[in-house]
Structure 1
Amino acid sequence: MAFTRATGRHRRPTRANRTSANLAGIAGLATVGVMSSFASPAGAAASGQPQVQDTADTGLTQTVVLGDSLADSLTEQASSQSSAAEQAAAEAQAKARAKAAAEAKKKAEAEARKKAAEKAEKAREAEEQRAARAAEAKRAAISGYVSPIEGSYVSTPYGAGGGMWSSGTHTGVDFHASSGTSVRSVAAGEVVEAGWGGAYGNNVVVKHSDGTYTQYGHLSSVEVSVGQSVTSGEQIGLSGNTGNSNGPHLHFEARSGPDYGSDIDPVSYLRQHGVSL
């Protein structure tokens, strides 16, 4: 005998179909159980047997209870995870704030140390300047001589050569000074010249009691007049850039007599009278 196969493609039922069939089977069993529960009393009555209610578990109740328990568990788990995430975020923010506060404190302490160091340095410099002024005042009290510009230094030495000077050499020394710096008479004396001095610009010449002369050139302003007596350290003008000058400074000369050409080494002159340069 020959066997023939039905045309068409046979497929195995999918998982979804199997699941639907299982549920349908469970529902069918539940229906049979219910129907049996209604039919049993009649049969029992007819047989004269005691009526016993059929309490067979169809499985649907367990499925619902398990479903509710799973949902509650998932909800509780989600809530727990959310709380943990919020706590972690709060801890991260707290750590970030603590770190920022620590860095700000560190920066503030560093700034405070820097300011304290700068303040100490300024105080030290002020003390050094005060000590230098006191020492110079002490020397002046003993010798009666001071530097023409307080706290300055010689920028061009005596006897330097160059075409800027008519004699070919520097007849004095230049003291470093910005325009407007106070210029003092190095010792007590009498002003014998005050005003324009040609290549010297605005200048002052003072005659001292030992017969020597000192000259102060390139002044921006003159604050004394001829015949006026001045004391050691008295301001006689302000430094500048007048006359034959290539920038603000004080040209200082010391002379053995009143005439040009009688110049002597100004640094040696001042040192001989106790002025430290």
Structure 2
Amino acid sequence: MAFTRATGKHRRPRRMPRGTARAAGVAALATTGVVGTVAAPAFAAAEPVVEPAVEQTALTPVVTIGDSVADQIDAQAAAQKQAAEEAAAERRAAEEAARKKAAAAAEKAREDRERAAREAERERLNAFVSPIAGSYVSTGYKAGGAVWSSGSHTGVDFHAASGTPVQAVGTGTVVEAGWGGAYGNQVVIRMNDGTYTQYGHLSSVGVSVGQKVTPGQRIGLSGATGNVTGPHLHFEARTSPEYGSDIDPVAYLRSHGVNI
């Protein structure tokens, strides 16, 4: 009697290869970190177990570390971050301190310059000079003679040709500028120390009443105006702007550092 095999859809399905089934079991257990041996009793005695390669399962090996090691790594990272932040803060503080130090040094240098400039200006304003640079006294104080109405010379005469620059002997304010009778064209200055100086017989006047003058500033030109016998500068030092309050002009200038 002949038997025929069923065909078409009624063919019995083939059994999955053992190697493939083994790989699937390993992949399933790998997610829990536990690798087990899966083998049906019927298959165990039939053939050896074949471990699938990584490329067969398409799974990436995973290394698991304990909580204590992870905590140590986190602590180390936090410590490094804190150290970096502290170093940056120290660097910023040092830069700020250096900036403030440089600014303070610059400010002190500026103040020192300004102080020195003020002191130099104060010294200049308090300095005295001769009324005619490079000249000398040709007629002394209290010299006698009929040429003077008081019977004696109330000032000193400085040798000077007509048109020689005449300068203020110190800092002060002009209180008279113009014609002064026997003194001709004259200038009277109230000095900062409260005394007065007079400049007579000028050929021209270069300042006006109320004007501030400083040591060495030109106030006019010497000449021969008024009661004179020739060109020169008549210079007086006084305690008031009025005639008759004269003091020794040479001693006055020397007391202010002028070498006469």
Paired residues for 1:110-125 under 5 Å? none
Residue identity over aligned pairs, in percent, reads 72
Equivalent pairs, count: 140
- Give CA deviations for 1:40-99 in whole Å, capped at 9, x if unaligned: xxxxxxxxxxxxxxxxxxxxxxxxxxxxxxxxxxxxxxxxxxxxxxxxxxxxxxxxxxxx
Say if 2:138 and 2:156, in contact at 8 Å, map to a contact too: yes
Shift of the 142–213 alpha-carbon distance from structure 1 to 2, 3 Å rule, reads closer
- Residue 141 of structure 1: CA displacement? 3.3
- Residue 210 of structure 1: CA displacement? 1.0
TM-score, normalised via structure 2 length: 0.52
Q: Say yes or no: does 1:274 pair with 2:241.
A: no
One-letter amino acid matched to 2:220: G
Q: Say yes or no: does 1:180 pair with 2:163.
A: yes
One-letter amino acid matched to 1:203: Q
Q: Per the alignment, in what secondary structure is the counterpart of residue 252 of structure 2? A: helix
- Give CA deviations for 1:199-256 in whole Å, capped at 9, x if unaligned: 0000000001111000000000000011111111100000000000100000000001
Select the residue among 181, 185, 200 that pairs with 1:198: 181
Runs of 4+ in 1 over 2 A off after TM superposition: 140-143
Select the residue among 164, 183, 187 that pairs with 2:147: 164
- Give CA deviations for 1:157-190 in whole Å, capped at 9, x if unaligned: 0000011111000000000000000000000100
Say if 1:194 and 1:224, in contact at 8 Å, map to a contact too: yes
User: Structure 1 unaligned runs (5+)?
Assistant: 1-139
One-letter amino acid matched to 1:145: F
User: 1:276 & 1:142 partners in 2: Cα distance?
Assistant: 18
Match of 2:210 in 1: 227
One-letter amino acid matched to 2:235: F
Say if 1:190 and 1:230, in contact at 8 Å, map to a contact too: yes
Measured on the aligned residues, the alpha-carbon RMSD in Å equals 1.7
TM-score, normalised via structure 1 length: 0.49
Shift of the 142–260 alpha-carbon distance from structure 1 to 2, 3 Å rule, reads closer
Say if 2:166 and 2:219, in contact at 8 Å, map to a contact too: yes
Say if 2:125 and 2:215, in contact at 8 Å, map to a contact too: no
One-letter amino acid matched to 2:208: S
Q: Compare the two structures and name the one with the higher helix fraction.
A: 1
Say if 1:143 and 1:274, in contact at 8 Å, map to a contact too: no
User: 2:209 & 2:125 partners in 1: Cα distance?
Assistant: 27
Say if 2:183 and 2:200, in contact at 8 Å, map to a contact too: yes
Match of 2:223 in 1: 240
Select the residue among 190, 195, 205 that pairs with 1:212: 195
Paired residues for 1:4-15 under 5 Å? none
Paired residues for 1:5-154 under 5 Å? 141=124, 143-154=126-137
Q: Per the alignment, in what secondary structure is the counterpart of residue 166 of structure 2? A: strand
User: Structure 2 unaligned runs (5+)?
Assistant: 1-122
